[in-house]
Amino acid sequence: MRVCLVFTAFTSGQLLVFPSGSLLHQRRPSTFVFSGDGNQLRKRRSPLSSLMLMEDTHSSSFPADSPGGKEGSSSSSSLSAAEENDASSPLVLDISDFEEMRASMKEEDVTREELIKNSRDVLKASKNAIYAVHRRDFERAAKLIEEARGKIDALLLPSLSLFPSLRSGIVEAAFEEFSEAVIFQTFVKQRRIIPRKDVGAVSRTEYLGGVLDFTGELNRYAVARATKRDVEEVRRCASLVDELMFQFLQFDFRNSDLRRKFDTLKYTQKKLESLLYELSLAGTAFVSGSRASQLEGPEAAAAEGRGGSGEKDKEAYN
């Protein structure tokens, strides 16, 4: 089977009869006939305006002695030679390259699952450490923090060194929670914010996220101290949040998780300010009540003494 591309342009009616018996009614055509491999078989010059695909099912569409037949047979032989060359030529596709990429992606999937599991363990230990600090169980908090640190050093960091792109999602959340636990424990025990280099192998984003989450725990801690009437500790917490607010205002977080966490810092600042105000009012009422009770004591005793002496005088008079 040979496929010929026929390009024609129409100007006036004309009937062409090809040797294969195919009929093409055209208007003053100029025909360009090409074989499947692009070799030209027949050509008549004229502007091109249409494209037709003609299929010749005869093995000898053009006689051998005709002009088209000679050119057609030579083109067929050249096409067969090209097919043989293509069959014998080596493949241009590097199979080993695809196999290597497939093995690497499979290893990455396995590593991802392991990271998710180990990150959950780090998250759990860090959260329990924060609750232990709230209960002032510092020994248990230190033990849990060291447990989380050990999993980070032994399990998370080696895997992330092979596939750094996996440091996102729950893995990043585990590092942030660990940072929050260390920062909170250090503040309650030492009254300071531990620097990033002393926390461990956490990134800037993870450390800043831990600091912002820590302010939420700081608010809970301040409320607990307020119930003990520890005004100085509440005032220290409020002062720290004010300083953190000033520092975070220097950043440009744009639309990110840090931006949303920073928005919660504003509410924490307002809550601590309200808490201090309520404590000041409660303190004033307490002092006023104490002074009133102190004044009422002697005055009541004096009034009672006056009343008692009057009764005695009345009895003596009678």
What amino acid occupies position 184?
Answer: F
Domain-wise residue ranges, the chain: 2-76, 109-267
State which residues of the chain have pLDDT below 50. 1-35, 38, 40-64, 286-290, 292-293, 295, 300-301, 303-304, 307-318
List, for residues 23-34, the tens digit of each pLDDT value. Answer: 444 444 444 444
List, for residues 215-274, the tens digit of each pLDDT value. Answer: 999 999 999 999 999 999 999 999 999 999 999 999 988 878 899 999 999 999 999 999
Buried b (16+ CB within 10 A) or exposed e, 177-206: bbbbbbbbbbbbeeeeebebeebbebeebb
Residue 45: predicted pLDDT: 47
Residue 249: predicted pLDDT: 94
Residue 255: predicted pLDDT: 74
Structure tokens at 44: 């008549």
CATH architecture of 109-267: Up-down Bundle (1.20)
DSSP annotation of 228 reads: T
Residue 281 Cα to chain centre, angstroms: 45
Residue 27 Cα to chain centre, angstroms: 66
pTM of the model: 0.62
270: buried, middle or exposed (CB in 10 Å: 19+, 13-18, 0-12)?
exposed
